[in-house]
Amino acid sequence: MRWLEAGSGWPVVLLHAFPLSADMWRPQLHAVPDEFRLIAPDLCTRPNDGMDGYARNILALLDALAIETAVIGGLSMGGYVTFALNRLEPRRFSQMILADTRPQSDRPDGRAARQTMRTLLADAGVRAVVDVMLPRLLSARARRDQPEVVAEVRSIIEAQPPSAIDTAIEAMRDRPDSTADLPGIGVSVLLVAGEDDELTPPDEARDMERRIPRSRAVILPEAGHLSNLERPDAFSRVLHDFLLAGR
């Protein structure tokens, strides 16, 4: 498993969005608060292992790094893996981060859209997936005013193997509904959402805030689905404040 890390101290595991990689967390890795160690792994699993497969690989990484407990969280698909980790081994969490994600499983139309994307990937390749996903991942403002972010997201996605993207689509399509698990989350939870996120609108974060006992939702203005890349400084400040409050 490939992972990026920076800093030293209490571990913070950040799980990336679909169809990106750990590289999406570089802005946060370049601004690690004192006394914390940020670890950003590439999500990997075998076909048909689903979200639990990703979660078990993260648990194996924690074991290999001799980490018993960590702050664990993710953005978008990284949030889905976080829900799976919480079901499998909730004791490994000291705090939780859920950014631009939702607990619900796919509805029938969403499952059909996943299958359409798998077909597009098989027929036209990764670049075709990039062309479909970019307008969903980034706000109109970012696509207009932040060409460097657009180029970075495109570059990260185009570097992903088609097989890894296909496996992720399958896992997202078949993921279980985690809504019933929210009231039982026993650690403090940071909920982050981009104000202009069309894939998981801010109301998703506000709804989770009502369901999770020790949670706080923060809505980042002028940010879309990849809020940590569109508003890296604001995202990092919110993250740092949450981490420091938990020490």
Q: Which tens digits make up the pLDDT trace of 168-221?
A: 999 999 999 999 999 999 999 999 999 999 999 999 999 999 999 999 999 999
What is the spatial distance between Cα 195 and Cα 218, in angstroms, rounded to a whole number? 9
- CB neighbours of residue 169 within 10 Å: 22
Confidence of residue 228 (pLDDT cuts 50, 70, 90): very high
188 φ/ψ sector (left φ>0, alpha ψ -120 to 50, else beta) = beta
Q: Is pLDDT larger for residue 33 or for residue 229? A: 229
Residue 25, phi then psi, degrees to nearest 5: -90, 10
pTM beyond 0.95: yes
d(CA 145, CA 166): 31
Q: How far apart are CA 152 and CA 14, in angstroms?
A: 18
What local confidence, expressed as pLDDT, does residue 246 receive?
85
* 108-145 pLDDT tens trace: 999 999 999 999 999 999 999 999 999 999 999 999 99
Res 181: pLDDT: 98
Task: Please compute Rg for the chain using Cα positions.
Answer: 17
Residues 118 and 166 sit within 8 Å (Cβ to Cβ): yes
pLDDT at 131: 96
Instruction: Tell me the per-residue pLDDT of 68-109, one tens digit each, with 9 for 90 and over.
Output: 999 999 999 999 999 999 999 999 999 999 999 999 999 999
Query: In angstroms, rounded to a whole number, what is the distance separating the alpha carbons of residues 77 and 66?
Result: 25
What is the rounded CA–CA span in Å between residue 44 and residue 38? 19
Cα 112 from Cα 22, distance rounded (Å) = 27
The arithmetic mean of pLDDT across residues 37-48, rounded, is: 96
pLDDT at residue 247 above 80? no
Residue 139: C-alpha distances to residues 71, 77, 134 (Å): 28, 18, 9
pLDDT, position 150 = 98
User: Strands 36-41, 10-15: parallel, antiparallel or unpaired by DSSP?
Assistant: parallel
Q: Is the pLDDT reported for residue 158 higher than 80?
A: yes
Domains of the chain: 3-104+176-245 (3.40.50.1820)
